[in-house]
A and B are shown apart, each in its own frame.
Chain A
Amino acid sequence: MYVELKDINKSYGDFQASKDVNMGIEKGSLVALLGPSGSGKTTILRMIAGLETPDSGDIIIDGVRVNDVAPSERGIGFVFQNYALFRYMTVEENIAFGLELKKMPKAKIKERVAELIELTSLKGFEKRYPNQLSGGQRQRVAFARALAPNPSLLLLDEPFAAIDAKVRQELRSWLREMIYKVGITSIFVTHDQDEAVEVADQIIVTNKGGIEQIGTPKEIYKTPETPFVSEFIGRSLLIEDYHKLKGFEKGEYKGAIIRPEFVEAFKSDNQVFSDVMDCSEEGVVTDILFRGNSLELKLEVNGIELTTFRSLERRSVKKGEKMRVIIYRLFAVDDDKAYLLENQELKAKDVKNRRLEAYLYSSDGYFVV
């Protein structure tokens, strides 16, 4: 483990920002600290940077306990939420600042700055001031400035928060590419699950100062371990009397979380679903919302409201229309754990001899219309 946090606790007055935090990050990985605001993710980042001191516990970077090491001696680069670029310095001067402090010879500074300008494709902007740059360009300057002194760990606090939605998408892939190119271990904080899933190869989900789950984006998505993770990731709905749905029995659970993609709704004359027709039950369309690239259907099934997405390529549906509904699976939750429950009737059928795993998690769309 390159970065390790052991039993970290941190409070601000009555507010406990970190509760028994234990985590490890491998060298070369790109990790997202994901959680809602106030979940303690930024506190963790700032403690690793040395901007905050933990009340108890150890922070270890590259095998060395750094609790008492000054921030500037920890070998980290930090990208602030609003970039905190020095607004009275040009792009060049911003990037050179950290190197000057390290008393690097002038010629070397020049060389390194040119290198970073090249890397972040900021050529032609060297003499500009931050207020003369676009949001995306500022982020690149912040990135270049953080990387200038050759840190071994890069920390980014909500790196995309200050950028408008359209450019954000572009910058996500840019940043990911850039980090792999440089090969630096990186941790970034975000409250946006799409961002975490898209950029990171490891996600740490935080909630109420503690860590809920650590895993790859796929693991976090497919096998959430706690009620919080199953609800926070994806668009989820908590349903208490899930046992009223066909194919599920009541267990010792508080309720279940059903994501839109777990719900299939089709017309009763749809041939593709003919072999699973008896696994389905009736649902009434109560609302239809246009989501740009798909429709969001609200369905009432046995008094329970469910949500699903419908491709625009499929036959159109009307409000009040009766449809057939199958719930593939759901996450049953109790107080602190989440369990994957599959539709028992559907499982028993094992339709068309497909392997169950492929059937349940087919991304190519088993039910193609």
Chain B
Amino acid sequence: MAYMKDDQRKKLAVDVTRNSKGATKYILITISVLFVFFMLILPLFSVIVNSLKEGLGFYLEAISTEYVLAALGVTILATVITVIVNTFFGIVASWALTKFTFKGKQFIATLIDIPFSISPVIAGLAYIMTFGRSGWAKPVVDWINDMLGTDIKIVFAIPGVVLATIFVTFPFISRELIPVLNAQGTDEEEAAALMGAKGWTIFKRITFPHIKWALVYGVILCTARALGEFGAVNALSKTRGETFTLPLEIDALYLAGSADSITASFAVSSILVIIAVIVLILRNIFEHKSKANREV
């Protein structure tokens, strides 16, 4: 009997630890879910609800005004250029940082991360300081305009918006590619080179298949960030209907203060929310794919 009791006691002890583990698990899950719900989901949901407050007709009207369409155009233009530039830059930088050894490699890797740690507003101001009226690069731009007979403006114009967006999103792609390229090593490239493959063939046949999904994932992240950028662009863009992006337009509508314009600003916001949800879904799909690939 005593033996039985001992055994039962042991079993009980196991149950207790299991139960307390279970309790911890459920407490943590509850806290996380509540936090995410109140901090993220509810506010976003209220954006959608508010945008439809005046009815679908008002909603459609609000998102198709001249200003909003212009802002959408600028946003898409800036995003497309940004993604193209950063994709190119991201591949070049991550390739250089992972496949070669050189002095200052670590330093460059750190520099790439600057946009992560700096406030976007500062990025915007930095461009004003560089290309603005008293900026050091202003004479260069003027000289180019004189030479080519063009009238390129950077600050308070579309190029400034694009530059600011590029600055803010520029680590996204390379940061996705670097771990993948590092994990891959240089063996396969070396093997291909030994068989007589040249640079472009090696990239196309060996390296690219490796980074494909990570690149897609990086592009999605970069797109999402570029669409929503506010601070840096705000510093460089002052003309509604010309250089305003969607986030700036939303801000302008909201600040206008009338009940109608506030609802309109929610309507325009809902465009970004919908895009965000789509991006989130894509992100999940491609993150999964890129991970599955990394494990190969």
Q: What's the nearest-Cβ distance from chain B to residue A54, in Å?
A: 17
Overall SS of chain A's interface: loop
Q: How far is B197's CA from A149's CA once the two chains are assembled, in angstroms?
A: 13
Q: Which residue of A lies closest to B193 (CB)?
A: A71
Query: Is A276 positioned at the interface, with any CB of B under 8 Å from its CB?
Result: no
Tell me if A84 and B190 are in contact (CB < 8 A).
yes
A72 at the interface (CB under 8 A from B): yes
A131 to B191, CA, bound (A): 17
A78 CA / B187 CA spacing, docked (Å): 12
Q: Are B188 and A87 neighbours in the complex by a CB distance under 8 Å? A: yes
Taking a contact as CB atoms under 8 Å apart, the answer to whether A97 and B195 are in contact is yes
Is A368 at the interface (CB under 8 A from chain B)? no
Taking a contact as CB atoms closer than 8 A, the residue among A51, A85, A131 that contacts B190 in the complex is: A51
- Interface flag for A102 (CB, 8 Å): yes
Q: Which A residues are CB-close (under 8 A) to B43?
A: none
Q: How far is the CB of B21 from chain A (nearest CB, A)?
A: 35
Complexed CA–CA distance, A326 and B201 (Å): 66
Q: Which of A37-65 contact B (CB under 8 A)?
A: 49-51
Contacts of B257 in A (CB 8 A): none
Check if B205 sits within 8 Å of A97, measured CB to CB. Answer: yes
C-alpha gap A101/B187 in the complex (Å)? 18
- C-alpha spacing A73/B191, complex, angstroms: 14
Task: List residues 74-98 of chain A with CB under 8 A from any CB of chain B.
Answer: 76, 78, 80, 82, 84-89, 97-98
Smallest CB-CB A-B distances: 5 pairs: A72-B196, A88-B209, A84-B187, A98-B195, A84-B191
Given contacts A86-B205, A88-B210, A101-B201, contact A72 B194 (CB under 8 A): yes
Which residue among A50, A98, A149 has the maximum number of chain B CB atoms within 10 Å of its CB? A98
Q: Is the CB of A97 within 8 A of B210?
A: no
Is B206 an interface residue when CB atoms closer than 8 A count as contact?
A: yes
Using CB atoms, name the residue of chain B closest to A50. B194
* Measured CA separation A73–B196 after assembly (Å): 8
Contact digits for B182-215, partner A, Cβ 8 Å, 1 yes 0 no: 0000011011111111000100011001100000
Task: Name the interface size band of chain B.
Answer: 10 to 19
Given contacts A84-B187, A86-B206, A97-B195, 16 further A-B contacts (CB under 8 A): A51-B190, A72-B193, A72-B195, A72-B196, A78-B194, A80-B187, A84-B191, A88-B206, A88-B210, A97-B192, A98-B196, A101-B195, A102-B196, A129-B296, A131-B296, A149-B195
Cβ–Cβ contact B188 & A84, under 8 A: yes
Cβ distance B293 to chain A, nearest Cβ, rounded Å: 9
- Give the residue of A71, A82, A85 whose beta carbon is less than 8 angstroms from that of B194: A71
Cα A85 to Cα B209 with chains together (Å) = 14
A–B pairs, 17, beta carbons within 8 Å: A49-B194, A72-B196, A76-B194, A80-B187, A86-B191, A86-B192, A86-B205, A86-B206, A87-B296, A88-B206, A89-B205, A97-B205, A98-B195, A101-B196, A129-B296, A131-B296, A149-B195
- Identify the A interface with B (CB < 8 A): 49-51, 70-73, 76, 78, 80, 82, 84-89, 97-98, 101-102, 129, 131, 149
Give the docked Cα–Cα distance between A87 and B292 (Å).
13
In the complex, what's the smallest C-beta–C-beta distance from B202 to chain A, in angstroms? 10
B194 and A86 contacting across the interface, CB-CB below 8 Å: no
> Which of chain A's residues have a CB closer than 8 A to the CB of B195?
72, 97-98, 101, 149
B157 to chain A, nearest CB (A): 44
Which chain B residues (87-141) contact chain A, with CB distance < 8 Å? none
Task: Return chain A residues, CB-CB under 8 Å to B190.
Answer: 51, 80, 84
Q: How far is the CA of A98 from the CA of B188 in the complex (A)?
A: 13
Contact A86 B188 (CB under 8 A): yes
B216 nearest CB across to chain A (Å): 15
Minimum CB–CB distance from A262 to chain B (whole Å) comes to 43
Q: A184 CB to closest chain B CB, in angstroms?
A: 16
Residues of A within 8 A of B210 (CB): 87-88
| Complex alpha-carbon distance, A35 and B51, angstroms | 75
Q: Given the complex of chains A and B, what is the CA–CA distance between A97 and B192 in angstroms?
A: 8
What residues of chain B lie closer than 8 Å to A98, measured between beta carbons?
A: 195-196
Complex CA gap A129/B197 in Å reads 21
Residues in B with CB closer than 8 Å to A76 are: 194
- Closest residue of chain B to A82 (Cβ to Cβ) is B187
In the bound complex, CA of A174 to CA of B207 (Å): 32
Contacts of B194 in A (CB 8 A): 49-51, 71-72, 76, 78
Which residues of chain B are near A89, meaning CB under 8 Å? 205
| Complex alpha-carbon distance, A88 and B192, angstroms | 13
Give A142's nearest chain B residue, CB to CB.
B191
Q: Which residues of A contact B192 (CB under 8 A)?
A: 86, 97
Closest to A81 in B: B187
> In the assembly, what is the distance between CA of A78 and CA of B193, in Å?
11
A-facing mask of B144-162, CB < 8 A → 1, else 0?
A: 0000000000000000000
